[in-house]
Structure 1
Amino acid sequence: MSILGIDEITFGAHDIARCRQFFLDWGLTLVEETPLRLVYESLNGCRVIVAHSDTPGLPAGIEADPTLREVVWGVANAADMAHYGAAMQQWPGFVQSDARVGCTDPSGLTIRVQISRKKDIDLDCAQVNTWNERSRVDQASPAYERACPIEVGHVVLFVKSLEAVTQFYQEVLGFVISDRYPGRGHFLRCAPRGGHHDLFLLQLPEARNGLNHVAFTVRDHHEVFGGGLHMSRCGWDTELGPGRHPISSAIFWYFNSPAGALVEYYADEDELTENWQAREFTPGPTMFAEWAIKGGIDGETRRQKNAEAPSGRFMTDKPKA
């Protein structure tokens, strides 16, 4: 019995029109729309909702909008939902219905648990040739004109009390710590077997509650690049990327989001089991990124932003002295 992953997230925002275009460019499918509410789906049915800040009944935010208002976690069946409902009964904001159970976590974030609506999908993904294994034969690697995210893979939150929030997710929802920045950050996964993290909690020196970013899983690193280049062509601003995280091994690209903080494309994270031993790291630039491009890549020139545009010549096509 364990949480399967994120089934739905809700943002609160003021600029609905700008959010509408951003998530369409991001690659999500708009399935419902009213003047105050947008509902998107990823490829596997994971939902992203953007609600106007004035929407009646919208869960309270952990910081001023735009930000994340709610995270809904998925489970396999009604028995699992009842199990987590019993575990959450003592927590503030507890609610229970036929469709969902939930409460407020120690950071003030509204969380819910429901029977997962996500569907299993089978996708063609890039094969990688290494020195030892040649899995791609007579086949070129894919190139993507844009990304179509598979699901919301993880959320990253700033918290005032790292230990209290971590304890909640471990004891109430059964999460497991994958790696640590002692006293500063915890990477948690939903179950002993799974991707490196579904939730990352960060405690800043000036401790506060808030959203750092929401991450969307794509097929492979080529789709990270294709999605990022498309967002660049659409005029959206890169915060950092592309790059690679050494802790989770994932390839990433972060964009500034009108729905709050950052959103990330990522692929190729580590897959862990119950045999994994959590590691401890000292925060620093080499731990966050093995390599990364500040400001991103221009979608037209395919060069770092503000770099000289390509001339069309071969790189070695230079006049002799």
Structure 2
Amino acid sequence: MSVLGIDEITYGVEDLASCQRFFSDWGLTLVSEQADEVIFETLNGCRVILADINKAGLPPAIESGSTVREVVWGVECSDDLQRYAERIARDPGFVEGDGRIGCTDPNGLAIRFQVSKKRDIDIACTPTNTWNVKGRINQASPVYDRAIPIEVGHVVFFVRDVLACEAFYNARFDFRASDRYPNRGAFMRTADEGGHHDLFMLQLPDGRIGLNHVAFTVRDIHEVFGGGMHISRCGWTTEIGPGRHPVSSAFFWYFKNPAGALVEYYTDEDQLTGEWQPRDFEPGPTVFAEWAIAGGIDGNTRRQKNIDAPQGKFLTDKPKN
């Protein structure tokens, strides 16, 4: 019995047209479009729903303005769904029907569970050559013009009580702790075996709650770069990146999102098993990023933003005067 990951994210947004343009640039596939709701999909069928902030039936927001209103998690089978329903039947906001169960988590967020609708897909990925493993022979690494995200890989929230939230997701849905900021942050994965985290919750000193970011998995570091530079060319703003997280080992690039907070392209996170023992970290800039580029890379010059592009055909060209 296990949760397989995120199946669907719903945003309530103030500017639907701008958000639709952003996620189209981000690389998602448009599924349907209505006056008050737009639905996108990733490659494996994970859905991103953009709903007008005043649309009837949206779950309550945990913060003002545009933000995530609901997270839907996918499970393996209907038996799993029934077991989870029994565990949460007395929790606040319990709902059941139309193939879904759900409740409200300790942070006030609407969460739902369904038998996963994501598709199994076969994606060609280019191997990496290390010193002792040569996985790529007579083959160049790709250069991407843009990213096409595979799935929504994880979501990150600011929470009032991280210990209560971690205990809730573990007891109700068997989420596992991967690493922690003691009494401040919890990285959790949905099962013993899987990527480093599907959910990260961070408790701020001022007690503020809300969305931090939604992260989209891509094939490799080259797609992080190509996707990020495409978003830059489209005129959207980098928050920070590209860079690399020491905690999960993942490469990242964060952008400001008109639908709320930030979005991230990421790849190459640690894969864990039940033998993994959670580590404790003291939060800080060097724990967040081993390295990162402030302001991002400009998609036209292919250099750090606000840095002049080379003037000659070769980097060794010198100005003639």
Tell me how far 1:312 sits from its aligned partner: 2.6
SS of 2:293 mapped into structure 1: strand
Paired residues for 1:53-64 under 5 Å = 53-64=53-64
1:289 aligns to what?
A: 289
Tell me how far 1:98 sits from its aligned partner: 4.1
In the alignment, the residues of structure 2 paired with residue 23 and residue 179 of structure 1 have an alpha-carbon distance, to the nearest angstrom, of 30
Paired residues for 1:63-82 under 5 Å = 63-82=63-82
Q: Unpaired segments of 5 or more residues in structure 2?
A: none
2:201 aligns to what?
A: 201
Tell me how far 1:266 sits from its aligned partner: 0.2
In the alignment, the residues of structure 1 paired with residue 9 and residue 41 of structure 2 have an alpha-carbon distance, to the nearest angstrom, of 11
SS of 1:112 mapped into structure 2: strand
Tell me how far 1:294 sits from its aligned partner: 1.0
In the alignment, the residues of structure 2 paired with residue 187 and residue 218 of structure 1 have an alpha-carbon distance, to the nearest angstrom, of 20
Aligned length: 320
Offset from partner CA, 1:252-277 (integer Å, 9 cap, x none): 00000000000000000000000101
Tell me how far 1:316 sits from its aligned partner: 2.9
1:46 aligns to what?
A: 46
1:215 counterpart letter in structure 2: A
SS of 1:48 mapped into structure 2: strand
Tell me how far 1:229 sits from its aligned partner: 0.4
2:304 aligns to what?
A: 304
CA contact (8 A) 2:147 2:218 kept: yes
Offset from partner CA, 1:71-104 (integer Å, 9 cap, x none): 0000111101101111111110000114100000
In the alignment, the residues of structure 1 paired with residue 30 and residue 313 of structure 2 have an alpha-carbon distance, to the nearest angstrom, of 42
Paired residues for 1:36-185 under 5 Å = 36-185=36-185
In the alignment, the residues of structure 1 paired with residue 118 and residue 195 of structure 2 have an alpha-carbon distance, to the nearest angstrom, of 17
1:286 counterpart letter in structure 2: T
In the alignment, the residues of structure 2 paired with residue 119 and residue 30 of structure 1 have an alpha-carbon distance, to the nearest angstrom, of 16
SS of 1:172 mapped into structure 2: helix
SS of 1:4 mapped into structure 2: strand
TM (normalized to structure 1)? Answer: 0.98
Q: CA RMSD in A?
A: 1.1
The runs of at least 4 consecutive aligned structure 1 residues that moved more than 6 Å come to: none
In the alignment, the residues of structure 2 paired with residue 93 and residue 156 of structure 1 have an alpha-carbon distance, to the nearest angstrom, of 21
In the alignment, the residues of structure 2 paired with residue 310 and residue 231 of structure 1 have an alpha-carbon distance, to the nearest angstrom, of 21
In the alignment, the residues of structure 1 paired with residue 85 and residue 32 of structure 2 have an alpha-carbon distance, to the nearest angstrom, of 29
2:275 counterpart letter in structure 1: N
Q: Unpaired segments of 5 or more residues in structure 1?
A: none
Offset from partner CA, 1:1-54 (integer Å, 9 cap, x none): 010000001000110000010000000011011110010000000000010011
1:19 equivalent in alignment to 2:19? yes
CA contact (8 A) 2:312 2:318 kept: no
In the alignment, the residues of structure 1 paired with residue 294 and residue 125 of structure 2 have an alpha-carbon distance, to the nearest angstrom, of 27
1:239 aligns to what?
A: 239
